[in-house]
Structure formats: C-alpha cells, structure tokens
Structure 1
C-alpha cells in the first residue's frame, strides 16, 4: 500500500497559491522522495519507499511537518492515495491511514474533492452531505448526469483507479524569488522572508546530496524608491566548507544583515546558490562499507564503540580456565585482548555448551536424553574455581566445581557432553552441558 503526503499552502480563499509558491514547496519536498507532483492547489509526494531511509513514519512525519510549517504550509495530511491525502488536508485531518480509508473518506464533506465542487448544488438537492452520500449514488446515474471527472476523481481518491501524475524534476541550479508581505525598511527584517528561501535551498541541496559554500541574497527596492537608490542590492555569504544546515546558514545571514543598510525599502528578495559541492554522507551502518574495506576489525570496533559508548560494544575473549563455561569472557571491545589463551585439552571438547547445565532424567543408574545414553569416552575430571568469586544479591559465593565429564551417545540426539558432580547436591544426578556438531 502506498503512503502519500499532501501539503496545502496558506492562501486567501478567493486566491489560490501562486505557481512560484507551489514550485518552491515541491523543490523542497524532493529531498524526501523523487515522486513529487503538483496537484490542483497542493503538493503531493509518495513517501512509502522513503520511510525506512528517514527513520520510520514518525520521524519522517515530524521532519516534514516541522519544516513545512516554516514554508507557509497550513496543513499536512497522509493517506494511501494522493487525492485522498488532499481531501484529508482540506478537511483539516492529518491522519488518513489510521483506519479503513473508505470509512474515513466517507465522513468528509463533499467539497474536499475539487471535481465535486461544480456540482455541489445539484448533489445537495439530491440529499448528499458527505462523500459517503455521493459514493452511495448509482454509478450509472452519476456518469450520465455529471461529467466523467467526478466519478474518476472519486474512484482515484478511494484507490479504485490508478492515479497519473507529472513528476517534478529537480532543477540543476537553485534560484528562488519571494515577494515580501510588506515593505521592509531595514536589512535585518529581510531575514524573516529569507529564512523560507534558505530552507528551500537546503531541501534542494539535500535532494542533490550536496552542500553550498557560497550563496547570495538579493533584494529589490520598491518602485517608490528615492532617486539614486538603484534597483536593489545583494549580500554574498561564504562558508569555510560546503554545508546545508539551515540554522547555521540563517545565523550567518543574520550576522551579515545586521551590518547592512538598505538604500531604500525592499519589496522582493531572491536567493541563489553560487558554489555547490557534493557532500560525502557519513555511513550510518555499524559495519565497514566499501570505502572502509581495508580497515581492521580493531579500528571498526573502536569506531562503533565511540558511536554507541564504550560499554555498549563487547567482544568474547578466551582465557585460561579448566572450566569450559568460564573459558569465554566478555569485555568492552576497545580494551586490549588478554595475553592468556584457553589451554587445549586432549579430551574431546563440545562445539556448543548450554548457558545452564540441564539435569537429565534417570532410568535406574543410567542417564537419559531422547533415549538411554551410552557413555563412550571418559571420565575426564574438571576441578577448580575456588579463586572465582561471584557476587550474589545476599552473599558472595565461589564457582568451585568438581565434575566428571563423559562423551555420551544418545540414540536420537547424537554425541553429547554430560557430567555428574562430586561436590554438593545429588551425587547420582547427571547433567547435559554441551553437544557435538
């Protein structure tokens, strides 16, 4: 199922948003998905394929909603279809994917679909109040009495017919213009309008996987300017390295505007990117990528530990111990490996051991595990651990063991590693501790 987002711009109800506003918003939206289109008075983008890239639906939603508000978007909504998302946005409902889309669309007013608006009077006279009423009308009667666009738009909104869009193409260069809401007499006051253009610029840079090291802000003087003031002015901002952080770029712009004086009131501004450079994206993977193929495992672990914390990354190390379950220790990865190594034993060692030995059932004095076990090799005594202190909740104990190990054969489970203890507990009890592959 697809996931669509629709963005509606703030505008006078009698005046739709300008083409320049829609183009600017669509250019910014291309950083989230290559499938961006302008539909009627809204910008829609198909983001299902980008959800995982941006950290999930919630993270993607928060980023789009947060920045779209600064670009003068009054409403953002989500739905399985683009026309459905526009309908929810016009109705002031953001989430159109939290239930059956048919039932949720049925409850919306009729005018949220543009193709229905020319027929509102007739549909109202027929007793229709919501989209569900329109959908309940006979399809044959709708197609004969109204134009084809009404039935087509309804089917597309409900996902019954495919939607066709003309996708926006990312421009090769960035140059955006904006008319200010009122005449501006001081340069610092230009920042309010310029911030929107900077956010658009950073969206365009993100879509190109690039950054800018220089951009220019131009302002155009009002037509009623004094003689000799000229048509306008400009301010060029340069950075030490290519970047696309809107907050940092706006801070630099604010610092420079504070030292600038306008020769006359300004009515329009324009932002243009001068120097654009590709940015190397930092890998979010914990494993070395192709560019790091020559990196040793030690350096990889050091980098991962620096990212997650030294106690979050551990690796197993072998230490010298007679008890097999204590021959493997876990320690923080950045620490050097101990010099001691586990001592090789002539007695067969299992490939897998259990975290906790499993007590076996008995038939007389013979241990059982999926059948009676046949003791093949043994006994091999392992004794020690008096030096190993284990802190418990109530007291401190030692991990001393005195065990006789055998290699046993089970009729169904194959060769196993079993033992019975000689220190405390039930001396007649047998335990399964490992298996051989």
Structure 2
C-alpha cells in the first residue's frame, strides 16, 4: 500500500494549526483519492489505486508536493501505512521506501508516535530514546505496565496490525475563509491570498468532476476602519464555460481586482463557488495529453472582457430562428452561450448572407444573376416572424419564403428564395 501524510501549517508558520486549515487541505486532497482521513494534526491519503491515474509515483509525488507547498503544507511523507507515514512526516523524512520500514522506524525518536506521549517520562527513565528501544522491551511488560494502546500503535506503525480510519466526505458546497498575514490596502494584492483559496476550489472541483461558472470573492475590512468604509465588499466572477483551471481563474480575477478600490484595509477573505456544472474531460488520443496546445478562444475572450469591459467584447451566437437575417445576434463574450435545440434542414446553408436580399430579374419565369440560374436543390419553406415587431411600428417581420440552391454560370453556387413578389438572392456558398 502507498500512503501519504501531509502536515499543514498556516501561511506565517508561527500560529498553531487550526482544524479549518486541516479540513481545507483534506478537501483539496480528495481530488487524488476518496480515501482521505484526518488523524491528529495530519491529513492521511491512501493513494495506491491512484498512482496510474496520475502518471506514476513520481508524477503524483511532484504534483502533491508542488500544490501542497502552495497551500501551506509543512511536511510530506510516503510510507506503506498511514501511521508510519505520519511518524516519518513528524521526523522530517519524506521517503519511507528507501530502507526496510522496521529499520527506518527503529531510528526515529519516540515523540513521533502519539501513543508514546503519556508514558514518555517513564520510558526515558528506563533508557528508551527511539521507537526501536520501545519495541525491544518485552511485550508482556509493556502491556502490564503501560496499556494495550501503545502496543496496538506500535503494531500498526510497523505493519503488523490493520488500521481503521474514518474517511472524509466531500462537501456539497464550497466556501473557504482565509485570514491574511497582514492587512492589505490595495485590491490587486488580494490575489496572493485568493490564489490559495482558488487552489482549494480547484481540488474540490476536481473531486466532484465539475467546473465553476461563477465564484464570489468576499473581503472583510479591518476592525479599525472608518464607519463610511463599511464592513467589506465582494466581487463575482463569471466564466462562459465550466472550468477549474486555476491559472485562468487567477488571471481573470486579477483583471477584475485591478479596477477595484478598497475604502479600508482588508484582513479576511472568503471564496464561495456560486455556480458549478459538471465538467467531463474528453480526449481523442489514446495517449495522455501531456501538453496543453494553446489557450481556448473562450478563455481569451473572458480575459479581454475583464480588461476592456463586458460590453466592448462581443461575439455572435445563434438564435432559435429559421429566418436568416435574425438567426444570429451579438452578445457580451463573457456571457454563457445559449442552449439551442437540435434542428435539421434539407438544404445546405450558405457561408455568406447578404445584409439585405437582392431582388433578381426574370427571363420568362427563370431568375437571372450573371446568367440564367439553374435550380439544384429545393424548395425549403421558411415561415415565421409574426411575433417580431419592428421597433415602435405597427408591423411585424413576418416572412414566407421558399429557398433554393441555384447555380449561376458566372457567380457559382447561390442561395435564392422565391416569394409572391418575385425572386431574391440571399447568400453565397464559399
């Protein structure tokens, strides 16, 4: 079995560890394995079944260590069981597989095992300094003079007895608080603490296989503030599609914080995931995606919208309307795309549509456009618009058209339609 022990610490490294810090780290660790337990001051993970999923032991170790350091992990250790990993972490030893476990544990001081603490003074008086010294004592004497809990802990740490843990459950909602090391007076500087909260959010989202489409960062002003400053403020960030990419979320938050002015210093931050949606990772390759090839267009548009303003970055979106002139509209790029119902058409659609239909001349009953048109496919009836009023006028944009795909001797493939008033050119095929 492969176990990892994480010892959390606060950002400044001086205050005692808190239960909130430990639970926040455990929530983040649930992205690596569902077997996460809180044991005394540590977070234990059983990751044997997750090694292949994360690319091997070295890749998993590097990711846990890299992200864990950012979250304030003071020490990390790996061992064949949880109690041994905790003892190694307390001793400052990371790798519990380089030597046989019993030989490695025998050299550790007694203090690394919590079951020794009630009897430490007595054990020191009889000459015990290491776990090996305690284990060398007669088992019957340990059981009579001390208690069975010490023997049980020794057996579990050395792998001779099974361990029983109460596994953590993933919270249904995400809301984490962080007390800043110092009071912050400029809004962009809040990103340092917010990044730690976003890292926790990313782990929570990964464990849920979800992405966030909106999150809110709240801040509380210092108690010694002017009354007009208020108790605090907040900012809500929205994304066009679900994501848990922490780098993108940090860049997006930085753009918004750059336009915020703080009326008073800030001492506390709270991050809340307000909108969460399922996020399914899809890969078309049989090989793992080692590198991300570029950045998605949606992420770039979100950053531009945050920098320039949402009304200055627009993109076209489809509407559920069969009339070509009103099938597309422009909306702020930061807003999510509307969900459209599937629709089928018998005719191919043109790549270019004229701003206004062009009426065609006729020769007999055949339309002309750089020669006589040959009708290839059609007709396709498009009818609707009785609900669409033209501004304040008392008329509607109701249309009744029969569309055709036609071939012109000079202009190529065209998109034309016929009404009671005649024939019109409406588009070109690329």
Pick the TM interval, shorter chain. Answer: 0.5 to 0.7
Where 1:228 maps in the other structure, the secondary structure is helix
Q: CA deviation at 1:148?
A: 2.7
Q: Is the 8 A contact 1:65 1:76 kept in 2?
A: yes
Question: Are the equivalent residues in 1 in contact too, given 2:212–2:242 (CA < 8 A)?
Answer: yes
Which residue is 2:178 aligned to?
Answer: 178
**Aligned position for 1:79:** 79
Q: CA deviation at 1:240?
A: 2.0
> 2:9 matched to which residue of 1?
10
| Structure 2 residue matching 1:143: 3-state secondary structure | helix
State the alpha-carbon separation in 1 of the partners of residues 180 and 16 from structure 2.
17
Alignment of 1:22-171 (within 5 A): 22-171=22-171
After TM superposition, give the deviation of residue 210 of structure 1 in Å: 0.7
CA shift for structure 1 position 75? 0.8
What is the TM-score of this pair, normalised by structure 2? 0.64
Q: Is the 8 A contact 1:16 1:41 kept in 2?
A: no
Distance 1:127 1:15, change over 3 A: farther
2:14 and 2:41 map into 1 onto residues whose CA distance is 12
> 1:186–1:261: 8 Å Cα contact kept in structure 2?
yes
After TM superposition, the score normalised by the length of structure 1 is 0.63
Task: Supply the distance in 1 between the matched residues of 2:284 and 2:122 (Cα, whole angstroms).
Answer: 57
**Aligned equivalents of 1:114 and 1:221: distance in 2?**
40
Structure 1: tracts of 5 or more residues without a match: 288-302, 308-437
Change (3 A) 1:91 1:149: same
Residue deviations 1:95-149 (CA, integer Å, cap 9, x gap)? 0022211111111111111111222221111111111111111111111111332
Q: Paired residue for 2:373?
A: none
Gaps of 5+ in 2: 294-430
Question: Superposition pairs for residues 180-259 of structure 1, below 5 Å?
Answer: 180-259=180-259
Name the structure 1 match of 2:383: none
Q: Matches of 1:65 and 1:14 in 2, distance apart? A: 21
Higher alpha-carbon deviation: 239-248 or 42-51: 239-248
C-alpha contact (below 8 Å) 2:9/2:21 kept by paired residues: no
1:260-275 superposed matches below 5 A = 260-275=260-275
Cα deviations across residues 226-255 of structure 1 (Å, max 9, x unaligned)?
112111100111122111111111111122
Displacement of 1:23: 0.8
Q: Indicate conservation of the 8 Å contact 2:174/2:272, yes or no.
A: yes
CA RMSD of aligned residues (A): 1.9
- When residues 14 and 145 of structure 1 are mapped into structure 2, their CA distance, relative to the original with a 3 A threshold, is farther
Shift of 1:53: 0.7
- Cα 1:209–1:88 change in 2 (3 A) is same
For each residue in 1:330-380, what CA deviation from the matched residue of structure 2 results, as whole angstroms up to 9, or x when unmatched? xxxxxxxxxxxxxxxxxxxxxxxxxxxxxxxxxxxxxxxxxxxxxxxxxxx
- Cα pair distance change 1:152/1:182, threshold 3 Å: same
- CA distance 1:100–1:18, shift in 2 (3 Å): same
Tell me if the contact between 1:182 and 1:267 (Cα under 8 Å) persists in the aligned partners. yes
| Cα distance in 2 between the residues matched to 1:224 and 1:136 | 59
> How far does the alpha carbon of each residue in 1:25-66 deviate from its partner, in whole angstroms, 9 at most, with x for none?
000000000000100000000000100111110110010000
**Residue in structure 1 matched with residue 398 of structure 2 by the alignment:** none
DSSP-derived class of the 1:267 partner = strand
Where does residue 21 of structure 1 map in the other structure?
21
Q: Distance in 2 between matches of 1:211 and 1:282?
A: 14
Superposed CA deviations along residues 188-233 of structure 1, whole A, max 9, x for unmatched, are 2211111111000000000011111111100011111111211110
CA deviation digits over 1:373-420, x for unaligned, max 9?
xxxxxxxxxxxxxxxxxxxxxxxxxxxxxxxxxxxxxxxxxxxxxxxx
Please give the alpha-carbon distance, in whole angstroms, between the structure 1 residues aligned to 2:208 and 2:250.
20
